[in-house]
């Protein structure tokens, strides 16, 4: 009798537990559905207010944006607290609801009280406005904005002192004024993150990758595999700059002066390709002259990009995209020119904000930004918490993956932007070096910015050390040195890079520059490509498009390792595809540096021109 009672009692208890779990699951399904419905409206309004401010910088639009941010924070707090109260333990829920509710519980800046939140919004809006309206007055009286003026000057001038003046002026105009504000921002940001159970904001950002605290170790390991190629490229470029500017300005055993690499931040070096080209007389891969002679404008550049996506069987841009996108810089108001893609959460309104210039660099940027839009479109039917990349690096990689195909001589020839494709080893080295000046040169910069911010958020780098830490990371990782002495008490060079005042995490770009080669290799295989990886153009391959689409549709509904496996057949981030792509160049650089007697790396760390 006792045994029978025990068995019956356990069966009853099992049925009760099973019923309770079913009820809990049913409640979770209803809760998450209601959240997505309500969130779509709230996020549309906050996104629209942010768009209005960034495409029309004014006090009125700033106040309107901040007001919507306050409403958005109140919404986040309301649902987050409800989620915590009704679902304190999500382990018994099915995966979809568990992942959504765990996400909803993270309040972020909604944790802040009203006064702190208002201060936070004022700080972030003000820092971004300072960046976007900064100008440099040159010795001849010209007043230059960053875009397009300073960007063009850094890309085309070969006057050492003019470049130095522009570089110094920008870092003082954009960075210095926000140094104090940034310290206040860090305090408030950390306060919000600690309330969510994180040690600081850096730990919160790293949690997005679902790697159990191993993200930093993983990216360090990836960098260790790629650093030898970077140092070979650095040594080769340094030698070419030495030949151009001479020993007074370039030391063959020291870091490179930051203003000589064709870009305000020395993050990508493609604009000085003319100084480093291995073999002259070969057909170049810069489509800019052809674009300009054929009458390309911003709209034609965007249509060209859209056609590439459509050729893979992916979606066209929506009518709302074409009606609402900011294609060129307005002449009647200040705007944030930094290119960005926007999702307005209503499944049809997607936009890009860009001050387009007719050149190949911006054609590639358009493919990058339209890759974000394609991702938005593919996961638009997912619940709101899942409308994001599998991890932030995936979102950055999509358009760049297509751009690897777009930038091939084969493709440029196919669409009429290159007259002929030269098939010889010298032309191939030229092409690979032009790619490396962007893809390989960027890697340490992509790693450095968040290494700096993580140390700031953690408290390891206090305000007094902001500039010193930045300069040290640039030397150690990039082999770059500022062209003029920096003042640790007034200078704030990190603030002169958009993503710092705009509070946009950056390690995503390093991750992207690795995984995009994995995506590219997989799509090339799907398209039936034969031959060296760097020659692959999967344009018009529906098979390649289907491979990509399968990953895009997931959004963030699964851990990124699942999404990675969907497109590549492996769950790991790996540098092997990147190394295969650049393998002929790697061998060539090693040989060329050996012939020149140049040792990769930099030992005269404190040398300054």
Q: Evaluate if pTM is beyond 0.75.
A: yes
Tell whether 529 is in a known binding site: no
Residue 567 CA to residue 573 CA, distance in Å, equals: 12
* Alpha carbon of residue 259 to chain centroid: 22
Segment 339-368 mean pLDDT: 96
Q: CA 37, 43, 49, 55 torsion: positive or negative?
A: negative
- DSSP reduced 3-state for 503: coil
126-189+201-596: CATH class = mainly alpha
Percent of the chain with pLDDT over 90: 93
For the residues 101-112, what does the mean pLDDT come to? 96
pLDDT > 80? residue 13: no
- The tokens describing 512, both together, are 């992207």
DSSP state of 569: S
Q: Is 529 labeled as catalytic in the residue annotation?
A: no
Q: For 191-220, what is each residue's pLDDT tens digit?
A: 999 999 999 999 999 999 999 999 999 999
Instruction: Write down the domain spans for the chain.
Output: 126-189+201-596
Torsion of CA 148, 150, 153, 155, to 10 degrees: -80
Residue 4 has pLDDT above 90, yes or no: no
- Residue 462 pLDDT greater than 60, yes or no: yes
Catalytic residue among 162, 277, 361, 499: 499
Residue whose C-alpha is closest to residue 146's, from 173, 178, 181, 164? 173
Cα angle vertex 40, ends 38, 44, to 5°?
125
For the purposes of burial, counting CB atoms within 10 Å of the CB of 215, is it exposed (0-12), middle (13-18) or buried (19 or more)?
Answer: buried
What proportion of the chain, given as a percentage, has pLDDT over 70?
Answer: 97
Q: Using the Cα atoms of residue 66, residue 69, residue 74 and residue 75 in order, give the sign of their dihedral.
A: positive
Of the candidates 96, 119, 88, the residue with the CA atom closest to the CA atom of residue 35 = 96
Output the CA angle 285-234-465, nearest 5 degrees.
Answer: 120
In 459-575, which residue ranges form alpha helices assigned H by DSSP? 466-473, 507-527, 542-552, 560-568
Long-range contacts of 195-200 (CB under 8 A, 24+ apart): 195/107, 195/111, 196/106, 196/107, 196/108, 196/111, 199/458, 200/457, 200/458, 200/459
pLDDT of residue 308: 96
Work out the pLDDT band at 606, boundaries 50, 70, 90.
Answer: confident
pLDDT tens-digit profile of 436-449?
Answer: 999 999 999 999 99
Residue environment code for 255-282, b if the CB has 16+ CB neighbours within 10 A, otherwise e: bbbbbbbbbbbbbbbbbbbebbbbeeeb
The candidate with the shortest Cα–Cα distance to 34, out of 104, 93, 95, 92, is 104
The tens digit of pLDDT for each residue in 367-425 reads: 999 999 999 999 999 999 999 999 999 999 999 999 999 999 999 999 999 988 888 99
Mean pLDDT over 427-441 rounds to 96
Residue 569 burial (CB < 10 Å; 0-12/13-18/19+)? Answer: exposed
Cβ contact 514:573 at 8 Å:
yes
Please determine, for residue 241, whether its predicted confidence score (pLDDT) is greater than 50: yes
Q: Is 595 annotated as a binding residue?
A: no
Q: Which of 268, 240, 223 is nearest to 598 (CA)?
A: 240
pLDDT tens by residue, 51-86:
999 999 999 999 999 999 999 999 999 999 999 999
pLDDT value, residue 1: 44
| Spatial separation of the C-alpha atoms in residues 535 and 521, rounded to whole Å | 11
Residues in contact with 550: Cβ distance below 8 Å, sequence separation at least 6, in sequence order: 566, 567
Q: Is 14 marked within a binding site?
A: no
* Alpha-carbon separation of residue 379 from 230, 271, 460, 564, 595 (angstroms): 36, 35, 39, 16, 52
pLDDT band for 22, please (50, 70, 90 cuts).
confident
Does the annotation place 259 within a ligand binding site?
no
Q: pLDDT per residue over 526-537, tens digit each? A: 999 999 999 999
CA 573 to chain centroid, in Å, comes to 17
Q: What is the pLDDT of residues 286-305, one digit of tens each?
A: 899 999 999 999 999 999 99
Question: How many helical (H) and strand (E) elements, i.e. helices and strands, does the chain have?
Answer: 22, 6
395 is in an annotated binding site: no
Alpha-carbon distance values, 34 to 37, 79, 86, 497, 516 (Å): 5, 10, 14, 39, 35
Q: Could you confirm whether 338 is annotated as catalytic?
A: no
Residue 20 pLDDT greater than 70, yes or no: no
Catalytic residue among 367, 369, 411, 529: 369
């Amino acid at each position: 009798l006792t045994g029978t009672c025990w068995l019956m009692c356990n069966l009853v208890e099992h049925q009760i537990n099973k019923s309770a779990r079913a009820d809990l699951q049913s409640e979770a399904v209803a809760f998450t559905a209601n959240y997505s419905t309500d969130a779509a409206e709230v996020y549309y309004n906050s996104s629209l207010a942010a768009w209005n401010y960034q495409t029309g910088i004014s006090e009125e639009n700033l106040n309107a944006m901040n007001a919507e941010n306050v409403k958005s924070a109140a919404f986040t707090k309301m649902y987050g607290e409800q989620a915590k109260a009704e679902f304190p333990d999500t382990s018994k829920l099915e995966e979809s609801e568990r992942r959504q509710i765990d996400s909803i519980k993270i309040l972020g800046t909604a944790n802040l009280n009203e006064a702190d939140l208002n201060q936070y919004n004022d700080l972030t809006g003000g820092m971004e406005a300072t960046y976007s309206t900064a100008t440099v007055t040159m010795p001849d009286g010209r007043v230059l904005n960053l875009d397009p003026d300073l960007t063009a000057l850094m890309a085309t001038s070969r006057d050492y002192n003019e470049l130095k003046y522009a570089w110094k002026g920008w870092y003082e105009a954009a960075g210095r004024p926000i140094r104090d504000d940034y310290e206040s921002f860090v305090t408030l940001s950390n306060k919000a993150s600690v309330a969510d159970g994180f040690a600081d904001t850096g730990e919160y950002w790293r949690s997005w990758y679902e790697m159990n605290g191993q993200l930093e170790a993983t990216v360090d390991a990836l960098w260790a595999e790629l650093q030898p190629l970077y140092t070979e490229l650095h040594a080769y470029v340094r030698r070419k700059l030495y030949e151009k500017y001479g020993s007074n300005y370039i030391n063959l055993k020291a870091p490179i002066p930051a203003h000589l690499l064709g870009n305000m931040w020395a993050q990508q070096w493609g604009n000085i390709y003319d100084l480093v080209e291995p073999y002259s007389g070969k057909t170049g891969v810069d489509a800019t002259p052809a674009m300009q002679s054929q009458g390309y404008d911003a709209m034609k550049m965007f249509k060209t990009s859209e056609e590439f996506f459509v050729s893979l069987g992916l979606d066209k841009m929506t009518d709302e995209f074409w009606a609402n996108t900011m294609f060129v810089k307005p002449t009647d108001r200040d705007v944030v020119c930094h290119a960005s893609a926007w999702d307005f959460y209503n499944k049809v309104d997607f936009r890009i904000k860009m001050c387009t210039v007719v050149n190949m660099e911006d054609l590639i940027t358009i493919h990058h930004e339209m890759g974000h839009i394609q991702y938005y479109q593919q996961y638009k039917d997912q619940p709101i918490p899942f409308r994001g990349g599998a991890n932030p690096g995936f979102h950055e990689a999509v358009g760049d993956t297509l751009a690897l195909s777009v930038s091939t001589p084969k493709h440029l020839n196919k669409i009429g932007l290159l007259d002929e494709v030269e098939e010889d080893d010298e032309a191939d080295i030229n092409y690979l070096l032009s790619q490396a000046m962007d893809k390989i040169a960027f890697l340490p910069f992509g790693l450095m910015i968040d290494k700096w911010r993580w140390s700031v958020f953690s408290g390891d780098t206090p305000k007094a050390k902001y500039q010193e830490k930045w300069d040290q990371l640039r030397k150690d990782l990039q082999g770059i040195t500022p062209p003029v002495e920096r003042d640790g008490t007034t200078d704030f060079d990190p603030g002169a890079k958009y993503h710092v005042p705009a509070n946009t995490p950056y390690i995503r770009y390093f991750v992207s520059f690795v995984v995009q080669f994995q995506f590219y290799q997989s799509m090339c295989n799907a398209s039936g490509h034969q031959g060296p990886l760097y020659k692959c153009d999967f344009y018009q391959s529906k098979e390649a498009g289907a491979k990509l689409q399968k990953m895009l549709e997931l959004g963030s509904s699964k851990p990124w390792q699942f999404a990675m496996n969907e497109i590549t057949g492996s769950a790991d981030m790996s540098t092997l595809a990147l190394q295969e792509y650049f393998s002929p160049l790697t061998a060539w650089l090693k040989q060329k540096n050996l012939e020149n007697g140049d040792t990769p790396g930099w030992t005269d760390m404190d040398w300054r021109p």
